[in-house]
C-alpha cells in the first residue's frame, strides 16, 4: 500500500490558513493571498477543501476554550500566536480530535514527518535556512528536520533526507545533529549528514565532527573523511566523499556508486514511482547528472550502461536490462 501523500498545493493552502488565522490580516497579506487564489484554479479548490475539512476547527477551539478552559486554553494560545506553524496547528487539531484519522495517520509516514517538521523541503526543492544561532542549514529535496534550540543545547534532528550545515561558534552550546543511528557533534564548522535506509552518512567538509552511536561508540571524523553510522557499528569510509555536497549546486556527482544508489538520489526530484530491476541494481556508475532534470539524467545513464528506461506517464518509470 502506498504511503499517504499530500499535494503541495494543499500544503500551501494550510500555510495560508495559519497566516490568516494568526491575527488580523493586513491589506498586503490579504492581497498576496488573493493573488495566490487567482493564480490557479487548483489553489481555489484546495482552499475550499481545506476550509471544509479544517477551517471550522479554529472556531471550535475558541468554543472549547470557553467551555473547557483547562483542556483548550493551551490549544487556543498556540493557534493564536503570530508565529504559529503548520506543524503546531496540526498537533493542536489532533490533540482535540479535530483532524480526520486518515490525515493524522499520515503523520506517521515520511510525508507526515515532513508536514510536522520544523523545516522541510518538497519534491525537487532545495533550500537554505538561517538558524537563530547564526548557523546556516541547507536541506536537499524531500528532507525534514526538527530543531531543539534553547539556553542549553542546539540540536538538529534529521528525520529523513540530507543536510549540509555551516555551524556558528558557540562554546557553551555545541551543535549536534541526531539521526536514527546516532549523533554528530560539531567540533568545527561544516559537514553533511544523510539519513539512508539502514545507516547515517557523515561527510566532514571543514574541521572535524565527533560521531557517536547510541551505545556510546565514538569516532572523531576529520576534514575530508566520511563515516557510516549503523545501529551496531561505526565505520570510516575509505574514499573522499566531499563530492556528495554537489547537490547544493543542482548536480549529482558520482565517483563509484551503484545504479540503485544513483536512482535513490534522483527519486526526490521526480514525481511518481521509479523501479530498478534487481539484476541491474549493482551496476557501477560514475559521472555528473543534473538533479533538476531527472529524465535527462536517466537518458544519460542509458548512454553508458546496458539499461533501458521506460516511462509510463509521469507516475511510473521502469529501469531494466537492455
Contact by Cβ (8 Å): 213, 191: no
Global pTM value = 0.68
Question: Over pLDDT 70: what percentage of the chain?
Answer: 72
The C-alpha cell that represents 213 in the structure block = 552511536
d(CA 208, CA 236): 13
Dist. CA 295–CA 159, nearest whole Å: 27
Q: By the 8 A CB rule, do 90 and 116 touch?
A: yes
DSSP secondary structure letter of residue 163: E
The answer on pLDDT for 158 being more than 80 is yes
Q: How far is CA 292 from CA 11, 124, 297, in A?
A: 21, 7, 9
Beta-strand ranges (E) seen in 40-181 are 119-120, 127-130, 136-139, 144-149, 154-166, 175-178
3-state secondary structure of 300: helix
pLDDT in tens, 81-103: 444 455 555 555 555 444 444 44
Question: Which band of pLDDT confidence, cut at 50, 70 and 90, is reported for residue 75?
Answer: very low
Residue ranges of domains in the chain: 8-116, 122-242, 250-321
Query: What percentage of the chain exceeds 90 in pLDDT?
Result: 52
Instruction: Determine how many CB atoms are found less than 10 A away from the CB of residue 221.
Output: 21
Say what the pLDDT of residue 116 is.
65
> What pLDDT is stored for residue 25 in this prediction?
56
Query: Domain 250-321, what fold?
Result: Phage tail protein beta-alpha-beta fold (3.55.50)
Arithmetic mean of pLDDT over the chain: 80
- Residue of higher predicted confidence among 31 and 261: 261
Closest CA to 115 of 144, 74, 153: 144
Q: What is the pLDDT of residue 108?
A: 46
Task: Compare 31 and 174 and report the one with higher pLDDT.
Answer: 174
Q: Provide the 10 A C-beta neighbour count for residue 280.
A: 18
Rounded distance between C-alpha atoms, residue 98 and residue 253, angstroms: 46
CATH topology of domain 122-242: Jelly Rolls (2.60.120)
Amino acid at each position: 500500500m502506498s504511503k499517504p501523500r499530500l499535494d503541495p498545493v494543499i500544503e500551501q493552502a494550510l500555510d495560508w490558513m495559519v497566516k490568516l488565522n494568526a491575527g488580523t490580516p493586513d491589506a498586503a497579506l490579504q492581497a498576496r493571498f488573493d493573488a495566490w487564489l487567482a493564480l490557479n484554479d487548483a489553489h481555489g479548490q484546495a482552499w475550499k477543501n481545506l476550509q471544509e475539512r479544517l477551517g471550522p476547527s479554529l472556531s471550535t477551539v475558541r468554543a472549547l476554550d470557553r467551555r473547557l478552559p483547562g483542556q483548550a486554553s493551551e490549544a487556543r494560545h498556540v493557534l493564536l500566536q503570530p508565529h504559529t506553524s503548520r506543524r503546531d496547528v496540526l498537533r493542536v487539531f489532533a490533540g482535540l480530535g479535530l483532524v480526520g484519522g486518515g490525515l493524522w495517520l499520515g503523520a506517521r509516514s515520511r510525508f507526515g514527518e515532513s508536514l510536522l517538521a520544523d523545516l522541510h523541503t518538497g519534491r525537487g526543492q532545495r533550500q537554505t535556512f538561517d538558524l537563530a544561532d547564526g548557523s546556516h542549514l541547507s536541506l536537499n529535496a524531500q528532507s525534514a528536520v526538527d530543531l531543539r534550540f534553547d539556553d542549553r543545547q542546539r540540536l538538529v534532528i534529521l528525520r529523513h533526507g540530507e543536510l549540509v550545515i555551516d555551524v556558528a561558534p558557540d562554546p557553551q552550546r555545541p551543535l549536534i545533529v541526531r539521526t536514527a543511528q546516532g549523533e554528530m557533534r560539531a567540533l568545527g564548522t561544516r559537514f553533511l549528514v544523510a539519513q539512508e535506509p539502514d545507516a547515517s552518512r557523515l561527510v566532514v567538509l571543514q574541521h572535524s565532527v565527533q560521531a557517536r552511536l547510541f551505545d556510546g561508540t565514538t569516532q572523531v571524523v576529520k576534514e575530508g573523511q566520511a563515516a557510516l553510522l549503523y545501529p551496531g557499528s561505526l565505520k570510516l569510509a575509505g574514499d573522499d566523499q566531499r563530492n556528495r555536497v554537489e547537490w547544493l549546486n543542482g548536480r549529482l556527482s558520482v565517483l563509484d556508486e551503484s545504479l540503485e544508489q544513483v536512482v535513490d538520489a534522483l527519486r526526490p526530484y521526480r514525481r511518481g514511482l521509479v523501479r530498478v530491476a534487481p539484476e541491474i541494481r549493482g551496476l557501477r556508475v560514475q559521472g555528473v547528472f543534473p538533479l533538476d532534470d531527472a529524465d535527462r539524467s536517466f537518458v544519460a545513464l542509458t548512454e553508458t550502461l546496458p539499461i533501458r528506461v521506460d516511462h509510463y506517464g509521469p507516475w511510473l518509470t521502469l529501469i531494466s536490462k537492455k
